[in-house]
Structure 1
Amino acid sequence: MSGGPPPCPSTPEVFAGIDIGGTTTQVVLCTADLTVVGGSEVPTPAARGGGAMVGTALDVLRRLLDEAGFRLAGVGVGAAGVVDARAGRVLVASDSFHDWAGFPVTATVEGALGVPAFLDNDVNAFLRGEATKGAVAGVSHVLGMTLGTGVGGALWVDGTLLEGPHGAAGEIGHIPGFGDLPCTCGGRGHLETLASGRSIGARYAERTGRHRTAREVAEAAVRDDADAVAVFEAAGTAVARALLVTAGLMDVTTAVIGGGVSRAWPLLAPLIRAALAAEPPVSGHPIRLVRARLGSRAVAVGAASRARGELGAAVPGRA
């Protein structure tokens, strides 16, 4: 696992969380109460394949352990794409990853480190992190939504992640009913076509002929660019509809939102809330909209939380 003598039993125990994204890989070390006691971020070698991606994460993890002298109890990994959490494999990945689909993530990590490893979809890990150590810690029912390059969703029900029989529970970004625009997944009219960072840029380009990033469109909206405002109004209204659908089907009225688009929170949140006010949930309970707190570490912390939960670690101060 690392150079030098093995740690003695009295050495503090930690859980590692790894977030393997298309651009960067984040590694954190967490105590049993999920306090981050070490972390690092490095570029993801996505073009070099699954072995290189996991190998890079393991190199970072070994270095963090060597520097801090902690004893590793287990590892959680959050990965973009569709995953088989039980088998510990990536099932489907975007074309930005090479040789990632089918890669045996947990078996590779366990073989290298000699400790149990667990795999989650990155959005599930994001919600797990926010629900155990972040903005919605202690809330029993939550919809998690990430507005990034795409739109991801996950559900926290009765204090645990609801995966569904096929691992796709909460995937609000890819249900139809939001127009007729083509989605990156091959479907049409999905929430992602209006509310993802990629789509915000595309919708602005369609209106103006000018190609801008979602951040630049947000900056233009703040300057009262009418086209930019219209694009963000459409995104906010679409997100509100997704929240209302979830509230109607699942009676879940708390939503935590993260991802790159959420950096425009002062612009986006009022638009979502205005749309929600126009049509409240059938239950009569207003939807509580919460901004994610853990930032870029949410997925990694959630992955560490998965490892902690699977291994039944005792949390200090909790009965």
Structure 2
Amino acid sequence: MLKEHKGSLLGVDIGGSHITASLIDMTEARVVSKSYSREKVKDNGVPEEILDVWINCIKRSIELGGINGSNVKMGIAMPGPFDYERGISLITGMNKLESLYKTDIRTYLSTKLAIPKENIIFRNDAEAFLHGEAHCGAVKRVSTALGITLGTGVGSAIHTAGTTLDANLGISPFKEGIVEDYLSTRWFVSRYRELTGKEIADAKPVFDLAASRDPLALGIVGDFITNLSEFLYNFSIRERPGAIVVGGNIAKAYPLYLDQVNANLVKLGIDVPVVPSALGEDAAMFGMAYYLNGNRPEENATLPSREITSLNIH
């Protein structure tokens, strides 16, 4: 626990396009709103463009929270591949944060923020997301839950018997490529370009058009629904979870697709509710706070390997 703000720890959520930081009050399970800080990140920028934004965002959160930075215990939810034990980025070939490949992030942050290295902990972002939702969010009363995050990449995790672990299925073979090729932002950008010859920055324009009943956009969303249904079927068939929770930027448009995904899974014999995140972007920060507070998986706990297959959904 932090001396300056009893019951609070600093949670940080880093994605391909953003960073969010806030103190988390563990006694009341809430974000300390006055300390909340968020910045956009240039995902394909040079190291300084990315790291400077991270530093400024974290510094602002510490300052707004009125705490002594040297005493901060900071938990960072980070997309993989990443050496979470040593704090070194291994992201390459993922179209995000690639300029940080093999950068010692822990040492850099420790030096720039004057925070002891041992007070900086990293964890897979999807794992942290599901941990937060399992403890105080959408699946807090579910003994076995699955979580996915949809955005710049695709994260996946499993929570069972009080332990949350990364499932690492985003890079699993799927259709003609890998899972991320069909469920991430780049799929929407690529598909829209293929059909229109026009460029978009992310999935939001497609969902906005779909909401206004644009036929082309509705077709793209329909293809996405099929892809997501197939992925979730494969993810859940062996686990038989009590629920599946979906987060990430693409999850914000869940009213346009989640009901149909649920209907597709029922047709396939998976009568498991797929629900949107209750905590939104705060989920991973809550997960990191619980992690720092001692709620960690057993050492060397692992998940069995899983194959992703394609289905015909009509």
TM-score w.r.t. structure 1 length? 0.77
SS in 2 for 1:113: coil
Q: 1:57 to 1:224 in 2, by over 3 A?
A: closer
SS in 1 for 2:36: strand
For 1:1-319, what aligned pairs fall within 5 Å after superposition?
12-33=6-27, 34-37=29-32, 38-44=35-41, 47-49=46-48, 52=52, 55-66=55-66, 72=71, 74-93=73-92, 94=94, 96-97=96-97, 99-109=99-109, 112-114=114-116, 116-163=119-166, 170-177=167-174, 179-180=175-176, 188=177, 190-212=178-200, 213-281=202-270, 286-309=271-294
Q: 1:150 to 1:108 in 2, by over 3 A?
A: closer
Q: 1:59 to 1:229 in 2, by over 3 A?
A: same
One-letter identity of the residue aligned with 1:301: F
SS in 1 for 2:89: strand
SS in 1 for 2:86: coil
> How far apart in 1 are the matches of 2:254 and 2:120?
35
TM-score w.r.t. structure 2 length? 0.78
Contact 1:16 1:27 in 2 (8 A): yes
Contact 1:12 1:70 in 2 (8 A): no
- Alpha-carbon shift at residue 262 of structure 1 (Å): 1.5
Q: 1:39 to 1:222 in 2, by over 3 A?
A: closer
One-letter identity of the residue aligned with 2:278: R
> How far apart in 2 are the matches of 1:231 and 1:99?
31
> How far apart in 1 are the matches of 2:4 and 2:188?
52
- Alpha-carbon shift at residue 96 of structure 1 (Å): 4.3
> How far apart in 2 are the matches of 1:253 and 1:191?
23
> How far apart in 1 are the matches of 2:296 and 2:262?
39
How many residues end up aligned between the 2 structures? 285
Q: 1:194 to 1:12 in 2, by over 3 A?
A: same
- Alpha-carbon shift at residue 95 of structure 1 (Å): 5.3
Residue ranges of structure 2 left out of the alignment (5+ in a row):
298-314
- Alpha-carbon shift at residue 110 of structure 1 (Å): 5.4
> How far apart in 2 are the matches of 1:310 and 1:105?
24
Contact 1:141 1:156 in 2 (8 A): yes
- Alpha-carbon shift at residue 252 of structure 1 (Å): 2.4
SS in 1 for 2:294: helix
Contact 2:12 2:285 in 1 (8 A): yes
For the pair shown, the structure with the greater C-alpha radius of gyration is: 1
Contact 1:13 1:31 in 2 (8 A): yes
> How far apart in 1 are the matches of 2:40 and 2:213?
36
One-letter identity of the residue aligned with 2:265: L
- Alpha-carbon shift at residue 58 of structure 1 (Å): 4.3
Identity %: 26
SS in 1 for 2:293: helix
